[in-house]
Amino acid sequence: MNLKITKMKFNNRNVFISKSAIIGQKVKIGDNTAIYDNVIIGDNSIISNDCILGEPLQSYYSEENYENPKTIVGENCLIRSHTIIYCGSELGAGFSTGHRVTIREYSKFGKQCRVGTVSDIQGYSTFGDYCWLHSNVHIGQKSTIGNFVFIYPYVVFTNDPTPPSEICLGPTVGDYSQIAVYSVILPGVIIGKHCLVGAGSIVGKNVEDYQLVIGSPAKSIKDVREIKSRETGESHYPWPLKFEKGMPWKNIGYEKWLNKNNSGIEI
């Protein structure tokens, strides 16, 4: 059977681009997409069909002299269909989304981050480099996420300690930590680096570095460095020494990469 391979192309149908937007070189913009004032898109990025970039703040609808804050999409980004990115947000180089993602205002992501399908980032939150959020993740406002943090499906970060109130205390997660499926992180909780939150856990207290916590309420079980690989029987953590798929240290190893880049993101 002969298969005909065609290149993806957009048809330039019903596309709105503000005159104040700055579009880089070789940027592809899909049909039915709107790019509002003061949006900057880096070179070689792809904005798929039915997206909105620079969605205005609520005050846009009531203030006569409203000015849209700057929104930055880095180079080599991939924004998949039906994604809405609010103004004031900053997405680092290599950022990508799944479909129907919402990123509210003043969210900031480092380089090479991923946000999965139907995830909801509620704004005023900060993410380091190489943060991977899987599908159906909800991040409450004012959350702070470190570098190389993986957050798996149906995880919820909350931020109101006594609902309903006007207090907003987003959780904090340290570098290299993993938050497993269906976990809930309660307001103001600080999770250290290299932690593993087990599936279905409700974390209401701070977690020290290198801890495995499980349960509702979550309790510390052991140091993650005691966890053995089922395949090799060796210690699996710190995981950067064992895992390299999609990581910047692929084919050279974590320690060589760290020394070469002097990144300061140490184990």
Q: What is the DSSP code string of the chain?
A: -------------S-EE-TT-EE-TT-EE-TT-EE-TTEEE-TT-EE-TT-EEEEPPGGGGT-TT--PPPEEE-TT-EE-TT-EEETT-EE-TT-EE-SS-EE-TT-EE-TT-EE-TT-EE-SS-EE-TT-EE-TT-EE-TT-EE-SS-EE-TT-EE---SSSS-S-----EE-TT-EE-TT-EE-TT-EE-TT-EEPTT-EE-S-B-TTEEEEETTEEEEEEGGGPBPTTT-SB--SGGGT--TTSTTTTT-HHHHHHHHT-----
User: How is the chain split into domains, by residue range?
Assistant: 16-223
Q: What is the pLDDT of residue 5?
A: 45
Rg over CA atoms, the chain: 20
What's domain 16-223's architecture? Answer: 3 Solenoid (2.160)
Q: Which of 121, 48, 50 is nearest to 91 (CA)?
A: 121
| Tens of pLDDT, residue by residue, the chain (267 residues) | 444 544 556 777 899 999 999 999 999 999 999 999 999 999 999 999 999 999 999 999 999 999 999 999 999 999 999 999 999 999 999 999 999 999 999 999 999 999 999 999 999 999 999 999 999 999 999 999 999 999 999 999 999 999 999 999 999 999 999 999 999 999 999 999 999 999 999 999 999 999 999 999 999 999 999 998 888 888 999 999 999 999 999 999 999 998 887 655 666
Distance of alpha carbon 103 from alpha carbon 71, whole angstroms: 11
Residues 164, 158: contact at Cβ < 8 Å?
Answer: no
Q: Buried b vs exposed e over 150-181: b needs ≥16 C-beta within 10 Å? A: bbbbbbbbbbbeeeeeeebbbbbbbbbbbbbb
Output the CA torsion sign for 213, 204, 172, 163: positive
Type of residue found at 177: S
Tokens (6 digits) for 262: 């002097």
Q: What is the pLDDT of residue 263?
A: 57
